[in-house]
Amino acid sequence: MSEFRLTQISDTHLARSRPTLIANFEAVAEHIDATRPDLVLNSGDVAFDGPNSRSDLEFAKSMHAALPVDCRYLPGNHDIGDNPTAVGTPPTEPATEENCDAFRATVGEDRWCFEAAGWRFIGLNSLIMNTGLDGEAEQFDWLASQLGNVNGEPVALFLHKPLFLNLPDDAELAETAIRYIPQPARARLIEMLSALDWRLVGSGHVHQRRDFTFGRVRHIWAPSVGFMIPDHMQDVIGIKETGIVEYRFRPDSFEVRHVRAEGQVDISLDALLAEMAAD
């Protein structure tokens, strides 16, 4: 395969009881049907409330299973719980091995590695990082063995959380540490990837679209398929809108297109919370 087309969707937050989020997903599903990429990746927060509702995970999976192309997934904090940071208050809903098991059983693998168009694609469970759970060490061991098999191909990494705001060694702040890959896992991950021809990291989680390059690595933040977080709850870093990201990989090169599916609507979390309160 000399070309590989990947569509990254993220933060779909799907539940049977959330029709506005379903409508945005359906707009994206029509776009996917029309464009037929080789793979759809949902980079996490697939479900509305995975840790407390297995049926949200099941419903989200059923929506993806109806797409006419193959899908891969990564877990988000709303799928399996969140990870602790060195500086912030502990998450009210921490990631657990049980939640990871539920995600794998219901949605799909929470980490993966594959080759296409002369590239090596790696997806990691970012919520297990910094938890001290057995799964964290196991994933780093697995990553080391996978990276040992890379034969000089360029590497694309995907995670739910972005690696950092602007710099790899940005200080972690109590209010925002939960937004990025926590230390010390972040430094370890960057060191492991930097030994290779690492060119891209794609993430979700922030519900803002962003595209910047640091050193040799392009950082793509996919917006949410479903909704944006208003300014009174979250600072503006990139672009607050709903949308998706399309990638086209060829041996030794790639292109990124920042796209909105026709019919996708910018829904604010304020509107979503009002809708939920009225239920």
**Site residues (CB under 5 A) for Fe ion?**
11, 45, 76-77, 205
| Strand positions, DSSP E, 124-269 | 155-158, 198-203, 210-214, 217-221, 244-250, 253-259
Q: Which is nearer to Fe ion, 11 or 56 (CB)?
A: 11
Phi, psi dihedrals of residue 47, rounded to the nearest 5°? -105, 165
Unique residue bearing structure tokens 């506005």:
20
Q: Which is nearer to Fe ion, 154 or 204 (CB)?
A: 204
Q: Is the dihedral of CA 1, 258, 236, 11 positive or negative?
A: negative
Q: Which is nearer to Fe ion, 150 or 163 (CB)?
A: 163
Q: Which is nearer to Fe ion, 4 or 164 (CB)?
A: 164
Provide, rounded to whole angstroms, the least separation between the CB of residue 36 and Fe ion: 26
Provide, rounded to whole angstroms, the least separation between the CB of residue 187 and Fe ion: 21
Provide, rounded to whole angstroms, the least separation between the CB of residue 8 and Fe ion: 14
Residue 14 tokens, joined: 């799907």
Rounded CA-CA distance 41/8 in Å is 5
Of 222, 239, 254, the residue nearest 43 (C-alpha)? 222
| Strand positions, DSSP E, the chain | 4-9, 39-42, 71-73, 112-116, 119-123, 155-158, 198-203, 210-214, 217-221, 244-250, 253-259
Q: Which is nearer to Fe ion, 50 or 108 (CB)?
A: 50
Provide, rounded to whole angstroms, the least separation between the CB of residue 78 and Fe ion: 6
Rounded CA-CA distance 150/132 in Å is 27
Q: Which is nearer to Fe ion, 43 or 139 (CB)?
A: 43
Provide, rounded to whole angstroms, the least separation between the CB of residue 51 and Fe ion: 12
Provide, rounded to whole angstroms, the least separation between the CB of residue 120 and Fe ion: 25
